[in-house]
Structure 1
C-alpha cells in the first residue's frame, strides 16, 4: 500500500487539511480516473460547504461517482495523495458529518439505483444514493417497506441512513437502520473491498481486538435502543452474532466507504389509525409513554404546542387538524389486519393513556396533516417561541423511555439556566428528543460550547446517548468523553485504526474530533443590511440573516410527485444541487462570507447559481424554514445591475407591460402589425433573437382590443349581464396580461361577478403591479409601479371594497411583494388584505342575499394546473372547493409548468423549461381523455401548454361563466392542434 505521496494529514486538530499541492494532484488524478463529474469550481465547493448542521467546511473538490469503480478510484486517489475523503448522501446531516476539507463524494446524483427486491426473502439490494421514499414505493408494490423512516425520507439516502444509523418515527416498531441491514459492500481506508455481514474475518486484527475488550463492550455499548453515539460495537460481541455490517452502521464514513447494501424489509401494516392524546405539557406526555408501549404501536411521537403554534402562525390555522385539549400531544400510530382492528387498538390505548382528551384519525387528510407537521419539525422549529432563529446542535439526544419525562423537566431548566429557548418534540416511544435552540451563534461559539457540555452531562446522568439517530459528527464527537469511559474511547481509536490507519476517511469526526465550536458557519457570516430593494422585515432587513434561514434540511430536493410540493422545479429537472434552493442559499451564504466567493453580488458564481431559478416562490411556502429564493434572486439582480447595462431580456420581457401599454395606445393598429409579423416565421425568429428570447418559442397573440377599452366602450352605468340586483361592490383589477393578451378572462370574470350579485367596478386608471420588473430585479421601477397601484386601488380597499385579481402571479404581488417594496406605506397593508382571488370571493365573500351557485359541471373531467405563485402565496383551497361544489372531477398537478413568466422565454432556458414541464404538466395532458378540460388561471401556464402540447387552457372564470358570448376558442377542451 502506498501512503507516501502528498502532504501528511494534520491529525492533531482532526481537521484532515491537505496541502494545496496535494489537493491539486488529487483533482488531476480524479479527472483521469473517474467517469463521473469532478468539479473543483468555486461555485460547486460553495454548494457543498455545509450540510444541515451549524458547520462550514469548504471541500477541495466534489465528485459525483457513476459506479463502484469510480468510488474505488476516488479512494485510491485519496490514499496516494493523502487527501481526506468524505461520503455524502442527501446532505441532510444535522451533526455535520457530511462535510470535509478534501474530496466529497456525492452518491445521490448517479449511484441511486434499486438493484433488486426479493419479496420472498424480504430484502432489497440498493446503491448508497437511493432515496428512501423511492425504496418505499418500490417495496410497497410487494406489501413491504424498509422499517426505519426519518422525517427526511423524501430526500435522505440509504447510504446516509447507514452512515448515521438513522431511525425515524417507526423505529419503535422496526428498530434502527443497523437492525435492518443484512450486508454491506464497502471499501475501507486501506483500499480493501469486501462484503461485511456476519463474522469478523474480512478485517485482520478485529477478532483479537474484540476478545481483548469484551468487558467494556458488554458494559458500555447497546444499553438501550437509541444509543447511537460513538461506534455501535456491541454488534461485534459473540452473543450479538458478531455482525460486522451492523457494527459499520453509524460509523459516519470514518472507517469505510459504502458501495452497496442489502437491507431487510418488513410487511406493511394493512390498516393504520393515528391516536392523538392531549396532556398538560410535554413532560407529562413523556411520563405516559412506557405504559403505552405494551400495545405494540408502530410509532409514538411527541408534539409540543409551541411547534403547532408555529404552523398556525406561518402556515395558517387550517393546516392543523382539530387537536384534543392540552399543550403537549402524543401521536401514536397503530396497525391492524383491518381498519376495525386498528381502531380497537387505538381506543384501547386511549383508555389506558390517562390523557386529558384524545382524537382518533383514520388514514386520510387529517392524519396526513399531522404527519406533515411532524416531518417538517426541523424547519418549523427553526424559530424559537420568541421568534428568534433556532439552530441544531443538541438535536436528537435520547434517554431510556422510562426516564424521558424527568429528563425533559431537567432539560427545560437547563435551557432557562443558559438563557436559550427551544421547542422539544421527537420520537418519544424511543426516548429520543429533537430540539433546536436560539443560540447566539452570530456572536461565536461560547454559548453553544457551554450549553452542549452541560447538556451532555445531563443526558449521561440518565444513562442516555448524545445522539439518538443523527450521529455525532462535528456537533457531538467532542462530547463523547462525557458519555464513555477512557477505555471505550481507546477502543474507538483502535477500531478505526484497523480500517483507516491514515485517518483519510472523514477526519475530525468520532475519533480525534474537532472541537464542537470549531468551523461554525454563522460566526463567519458578517451582516449585510440592505439599503434599498426589499424590506426583508422578518430578517431585520439583513440579507445575511435571510439566506441563513436555510438550515439545509433539503426539502427542496424532495421529489414533488412524492411530496406534493412545487419547490425547486429546476432541481426536479436537473437533479443538480446547484439548482436546489439549498444549493443557491449556500452560494449566497458564501457570497456574504466573502472568503470563497469574492466578487459580491456580481460574481459569476452567484449569476450561475441563480440563472435557473424560475422565481416560482414555492420555496417561500414549501421550505419549512421559509427560504424565499425568488425574493433573494430579485434582490441580487437589483444589486448586481445597479447603474449597469442589463441583459436584453430585462428590457424586453422585464418591461413587457410597458411595451403592451404602448401598443394599446395605437388602438387596433399596433396589435395587428405585431400579430402579422409574428406569423412570418423568419421575421418572428429575428425579432425573438433581438429581444433575447429563444427562437423556438411562440409569441402569444395580442388582442385587438383590451378588456379595459371594451369595458369603457360597452359597459354603461347600470348595464348588467344578468344576475340579481347588486348589493355589494367589487373591484375587478385587470392586470396587464389579462387586459392585453387574454381579455376574455376579465370579460368572463365580470359577467360571473355580476351574476353572483356584485356591482363590478373597473378603475378608470390602469395599474400595473410591476411583476416583470420584480422578477428581473428592477426593484426601484417596480416600487414606482406599485405606488401607482396604491393610488388606484387603495381608496377602494380603505372603504372595505374587495379587490379581485385574475392572474395569480400579479395577485400574489399585491398580497406579498407589495408589502416588501412599500413597507412604510399604510395603504399597502389595506390593499393586501382587500385582495382576493376569484375563487376566494365566490366561496367566502358573496353578498348576503346572493343566491349564486356554481354551474353544474357533473361529468366534466379536468386537468388543473395551480399557478406556482398561487400555491405559494394565495393558496388553492378555495379553487378546489369551488370545483368540488360544481361537481367537476379534477386531476390537480403538483409542480411548476416550466414557463414561469420570462424564465422559459429567455434564451438558454428552453431545455430546462421543457424538462420542468415533463415533470407533471405534459404527461398529464398526453394521458388526458378526449373532452378533458385543461384549467389554468396562470397566463404562463396556458401559454406553456399551448406552446409545447398544442393544448388550449381555460381560466376558472371562463369555465364557470354562463356568458353565452364567451370566446369558444378560449373555452376549448384539451385538444391538440
Structure 2
C-alpha cells in the first residue's frame, strides 16, 4: 500500500492524500450502521484526478469507493481500500437560460441546486430528506427520491444527460454528440453486449413483464434493469444503468436533469383516521386527486413526537391504532390551490375521521405540521440507549397492499422485541420507513437483528412482491437479498452488468453484488458511549446533516467526525488503551479548529451542538496554569480589557513600522488588515425619551474605530437617541462580560460567574426588568438569552433595531449595494429576516453571500487559528459586488475577519442605520 500512497502523492497535492488515523476513521464513517477504515483517502477536484487515482488503484489492485456527502444509509460509501472523496472542484452548476435543464457536478449539494433554480420557479426532481446535505453524485448513484418526487421525478426519469468515467479511464458524455460518436467506436463491444442483453430481456416476455412490474413502485434494489426494457439505444441503456449503480459501474462526473416546477402556493393538512386500514384506503383514493405528498404516520410515530414543543395536542389522546396522513397540495396560483384543496377534502370526507381536517396555507403552520413528520426519525434516535444504533429501513409495496403490509410489520416488531419501532413514509408510493434501535455490541442482539431481517425480507418478497429497498439504495445492507427479491434470472443479468463494466471487480466491491449471505452482518459500526462530558453526543446518529453548516468541514473535521473520533477516544480511555496519534491529532483537528458556533445543532435531527462537547473537552484539557489565568482574567476583567487595548495599540504601532502584511506573517495570521483601533466606550447624553438599557459588549469596547465617534458604542447610543430613546449604561461596564469568551475556552464556571455578575448589573439598570435591555453583539445576546431563560427582557441589537428603531427613523437609501453577514449566533436566534429587512431599508441592493454560514472567527479562533476563518470564507469572494459600499453584521470579531478576507470594511448593522438616518435628517433640513 505504501507504493500506492507514494504514487498518489506524486499525482495529487500532499494535503489531499490523507493517511492519518484520525481522518481515515472519520471518513470511514457514513450515515449507515457499517464502518470500514480506508487505507488512504484522496480528495479529487476534477475528472482527470479521478481517472488517475482509479488508474493507480487498478495498477496496485486496490478497491476504490467514491464518496460524496456520506449521508447514505446502507453502507455504500465506506471501504477498506481507496476512498475517493469529491472535492469542491466538482461542485459545478450550469442552468439553462429557460431553467428547463440544469447540468450539475457530483459535489453540489442538492438544496444548493434548488436554491439557484428557485428564481426560475424550478427545482430538481429528487427530494430526499437529506437534500440539505446530500450531494448530486450520491443522489444520482442511489436514485434517491423523497416525499414528493415519487417515481416520475427521480433521477432515472428526469435524466437528460450524464457524463461518466468508466473503470478503464474512458469518459462518455451522453449530452455531447462528439463524445457519443467516439465512444460508439472505442467501446463498440461493450455497447454491443448491452444491446444483446436488452434483446435477451425483451425476448423473455415473463422477465420483461416482471421488470416493468417491479418499477411501477419505488425500487432501488440492485441495478436499474428497467433500462434494458425502457430504451433501445445502448448509450441510453448505459446512461440509465449508471443511475442507482452506487459507484460500482463507474464514476458520475456530471448529471443533467430536466427540472420540474416548484409552485409557490402550497397547503398542508394533518388528517387523523381511526385505524391503519382506513388511512391506507384513503391513500388509494387520494392517488386520483391533486396531491403532491401524502405521508403516513402510525400511532407509535405520533406518540414519539407528541410531547415535543409545537405538536398538536390531539397527538396525546389518540386511540391505539390511530393513523395520520400528512397531505400537501401545490398549485401555480392561489385560486387553483383552493380548487385542489376542495378536491382533496371531497375525497377525505368519504372516510371516517377522528376530526375534520383543515388545510392551512400559512407558512409557519405548514412548517409546524411537517415538523410532526420530520420529528419521527430523530425522536427514536434521541431516546435510544447509549451504545445502540438507530436503524431506518425502507420498503415499498403496491398501494392497495400498504395497510396489510404495515400491520404485518408491526407483528414482526412484536415478535422480535422491537417495541420502540415506528412506521412512517411516503404513502402515495406505497413506500414506508420503519425505525428501530439495535445494539450491535452483543452477539445475541446481532442474531436477533439477523432473524428479524430474514423475516422482513421473506414477508416483503413472498407475500407482497415488494421492494426491499425503495429509495435508500442497496449498499451492503441489502446486497445478500438482491437475488431473493429479483430471482435467479434477473440477478444473473446484474452479475453480467457488473462484470461488463468492472471486470476486475475493483469499483466498490461488496456493494449491490455480494456472494456473502451474511454481508449485512459484517463490518457493523460500533457506537461506544461518549462519556458524561456532554451527554447529548450519545444521541448522534452520524447522519452528516450537520456538515454543510460547519466552517471547519473540509479543513479538518466536521461535527459528525468530531463525535466519531471522540467516541473512539472514549472507548480507548474506558478500555485503558493509549489514545496514540489519534488523540494527539484530535487536539488540533477536533478542538482547536472548532469555531464552537453551534450551527451544527440547527441542522442536526436530534439537536446536538457539537461545540458544547468541544468546550467541555477544552475545559477538561486545560492545564492548572491556564485555568488559574482564566480565573484571574475573570476576576480582574477591567485590567484584562485594558491589557488587550494596550496590545492592540502596540499592534498598530508595529503595523506602522513594518506594514500589515508582514505583521500578519510575523504573528501567524493573528494580525489582520484593517484591524480596529481601541477606543473608550461611548457615553449616553439624552435624559428624555423612552428608557432602554444598553450594554456595550467587551469586543466592541476593545476593538473600536479610527475616531471615538465611529466606535460601536458611540454609534449605538447616537442612533438610540435619534430614535427617541434615553439609553442607560450599566454601572461598572469595564468589569462586566457576558461570559462567552470564557465559555468558548472551556472555563464554564468562570463564564457562568461573569454571566451572573452581568445579570445583577442589568437587573439594577433596568429596574428589575422594567426597561428593555439591548446588547450590541449577537454572540453575547445569545449567551445571555440562554443564561437568563427569559428572567429579563434581553434583545439583540438586530432584533431591537428592527422592531423598535426602524419605525422611528427616517432613512435615506444608499444606491450602491451593501453586503450583509448573518453570523452564527444571529442565525441561531432566527434573525435572518430582520437583518435583511434592516439592510433593505437602508440600501437599494442587499447581498448576503448564500454559501457562507459561520465565518469561522469563533470569538478568538480567527486570531489563534486564522486558517479556520480563511477556510470558512473561501467562497465569499465571488459574491462581493464590484461597487460595494460596505459590509454589515452584528459581531465585532466576525467583522474583523470579514474585513480582512474581502477588503470590504465590515461594521455593525447599526452603522448603516446611523449613516442612512443621519443622511435622511440632513436632506430633510435642506
Q: Judge same fold: TM > 0.5, yes or no.
A: yes
Identify the match of residue 159 of structure 2 among 181, 203, 211. Answer: 181
2:346 alignment partner in structure 1 = 351
The separation in 2 between residues aligned to 1:505 and 1:950, in whole angstroms, is: 47
Report how far residue 234 of structure 1 moved.
3.4
Structure 1 residues without counterparts, runs of 5 or longer: 1-22, 558-566, 715-719, 819-830
Distance 1:41 1:145, change over 3 A: same
Q: Which residue of 2 aligns with 1:721?
A: 687
Residue 341 of structure 1 is matched in structure 2 by 336
The answer to whether the aligner puts 1:901 opposite 2:859 as a matched pair is yes
Alignment correspondent of 1:235: 227
Tell me if the contact between 2:296 and 2:425 (Cα under 8 Å) persists in the aligned partners: yes
Question: What whole-Å deviation, never above 9, does each CA across 1:332-383 have from its counterpart, x for those lacking one?
Answer: 23334x4423432232122222364444455966556766876x66874563
Residue 639 of structure 2 corresponds to residue 662 of structure 1: yes
Which residue of structure 2 lines up, in the alignment, with residue 104 of structure 1?
83
Aligned 8 A contact 1:381 1:436 in 2: no
Shift of residue 519 of structure 1?
Answer: 1.6
- Deviation of 1:102 after TM superposition, in Å, equals 0.5
Map Cα deviations across residues 834-887 of structure 1 (whole Å, 9 max, x no partner): 15432599989x9xxxx9995144666786644422432x44389569969999
Within the candidate set 695, 699, 706, 2:671 is matched to: 695
The match for 2:271 among 258, 271, 278 is 278
1:775 aligns with 2:776: no
SS of equivalent residue, structure 1 residue 569: coil
1:522-541 equivalence runs, <5 A: 522-523=526-527, 525=528, 527-530=529-532, 536-537=534-535, 539=536
User: Which among 544, 557, 563 is matched to residue 553 of structure 1?
Assistant: 544
Tell me how far apart the structure 1 counterparts of residues 716 and 749 of structure 2 sit (CA, whole Å): 32
Question: What residue number does 2:706 align with?
Answer: none
- Structure 1 stretch 224-233 or stretch 127-136: which is displaced more? 127-136
Offset at 1:630?
A: 1.8
Choose from 245, 250, 259 the match for 1:257.
Answer: 250
Q: CA deviation at 1:586?
A: 3.8
1:384-436 alpha-carbon deviations (Å, 9 max, x no partner): 67898985533322222222233333334433442342454332221222343
User: Which residue does the alignment assign to 1:811?
Assistant: 781
Q: 1:493 to 1:127 in 2, by over 3 A?
A: same
Output the CA distance in 2 between the equivalents of 1:35 and 1:885: 44
The SS at the match of 2:326 is strand
User: Bigger CA drift: 800-809 or 405-414?
Assistant: 800-809
Q: How many residues align?
A: 871
Distance of 2:104 and 2:840 partners within structure 1: 46
Structure 2: distance between partners of 1:577 and 1:765: 37
- Structure 2: gaps (5+ residues): 704-710
Q: Give me the whole-angstrom Cα distance separating, in 1, the residues matched to 2:230 and 2:137.
A: 26
Q: CA deviation at 1:511?
A: 1.8
Is 2:381–2:541's contact at 8 Å kept on the other side of the alignment? no
- Shift of residue 810, structure 1, vs aligned partner: 2.7
Does the residue aligned with 2:638 lie in a helix, a strand or coil?
helix
User: Does residue 30 in structure 1 map to residue 8 in structure 2?
Assistant: yes
C-alpha separation between the residues in 2 aligned to 1:802 and 1:477? 65
For 1:349 and 1:917, the matched residues in 2 are separated by: 47
When structure 1 is superposed on structure 2, of 504-513 and 205-214 the one drifting more is: 205-214
Q: Which residue of 1 aligns with 2:892?
A: 939
Is the CA contact 1:112–1:127 (under 8 Å) kept in the aligned structure 2? yes
Q: Does 1:406 align with 2:404?
A: yes
- What is residue 393 of structure 2 aligned with on the other side? 395
Q: Is the 8 A contact 1:53 1:552 kept in 2?
A: yes
- Give distance in 1, aligned partners of 2:133 and 2:696: 41
> What whole-Å deviation, never above 9, does each CA across 1:471-526 have from its counterpart, x for those lacking one?
12122223445534345444443443333343322122222255323222234x3x
- How has the CA–CA distance of structure 1 residues 341 and 853 changed in structure 2, closer, same or farther, with 3 Å as cutoff? closer
CA distance in 1, matches of 2:459, 2:760: 60
Query: Offset of 1:469 from its aligned partner?
Result: 0.9
Matched, 1:876 2:831: yes
Shift, 1:228, TM fit: 1.9
Greater CA drift, 881-890 or 111-120: 881-890
TM-superposed CA distance for 1:100, in Å, is 0.9
Give 1:10-159 correspondences, 5 Å limit.
23-33=1-11, 37-114=16-93, 117=96, 125-136=103-114, 145-159=123-137
Kindly state the Cα deviation for residue 101 of structure 1 after the two structures are TM-superposed. 1.0
> 1:64/1:116 Cα in 2 relative to 1: closer, same or farther (>3 Å)?
farther
- Partner SS, residue 174 of structure 1: coil
Alignment pair present for 1:838 and 2:839 = no
Partner of 2:713: 744
* Residue 92 (structure 1) shift: 1.6
CA distance in 2, matches of 1:757, 1:946: 32
1:669-709 C-alpha deviation (Å, 9 max, x unpaired) = x96896477356357979988987623355544444x57xx
Alpha-carbon spacing, 1:593–1:282, altered in 2? closer, same or farther (3 Å): farther
Segment of structure 1 superposing worse, 164-173 or 80-89:
164-173
Matches within 5 A, 1:346-385: 346-354=341-349, 356-361=355-360, 380-381=378-379, 383=381
SS of residue matched to 1:202:
helix
Residue in 1 that maps onto 2:655: 681
How far has the Cα of 1:97 moved from its partner?
Answer: 0.7
1:19 corresponds to which residue?
none
Match of 2:487 among 485, 488, 495: 485
**Is 1:568 aligned with 2:555?**
no
1:129 touches 1:158 (CA, 8 Å); kept in 2? yes
1:202 corresponds to which residue?
A: 190
Determine if contact 1:610/1:633 at 8 Å carries over to the other structure.
Answer: yes
Equivalent residue in structure 1 for 2:596, among 595, 615, 631? 615
C-alpha distance in 2 between matches for 1:694 and 1:384: 40
Q: Which moved more, 1:951-960 or 1:831-840?
A: 951-960
Q: In structure 1, what is the Cα distance between the partners aligned to 2:522 and 2:743?
A: 40
Distance 1:208 1:82 in 2: 30
Q: Is the contact made by 2:421 and 2:434 (CA closer than 8 Å) also made in structure 1?
A: yes
SS of 2:343's equivalent? helix
RMSD: 5.3
Residue aligned with 1:414, SS:
helix
SS in 2 for 1:445: helix
Once the two structures are superposed, the pairs formed by residues 448-597 of structure 1 within 5 Å of their partners are 448-460=449-461, 461-480=463-482, 482-512=484-514, 513=516, 515-523=519-527, 525=528, 527-530=529-532, 536-537=534-535, 539=536, 545=538, 549-557=540-548, 567-571=549-553, 576=554, 578-592=556-570, 594=572
SS of the residue aligned with 2:435? coil
Q: Give the CA deviation at 1:105.
A: 1.8
1:294 aligns with 2:285: no
Describe the shift of the 1:510–1:864 C-alpha distance in structure 2 as closer, same or farther (beyond 3 A).
closer
1:865 and 1:394, CA in 2 relative to 1: closer, same or farther beyond 3 A? closer
Equivalent residue, structure 2, for 1:11: none
* Distance (Å, rounded) in 1 between the aligned partners of 2:280 and 2:727: 55
Change (3 A) 1:202 1:765: closer
Cα distance change, pair 865–503 in 1 and its aligned pair in 2 (3 A): closer
- Farther-moved stretch of structure 1 (744-753 vs 733-742): 744-753
CA distance in 2, matches of 1:141, 1:293: 30
Other structure's SS at 1:25 match: helix
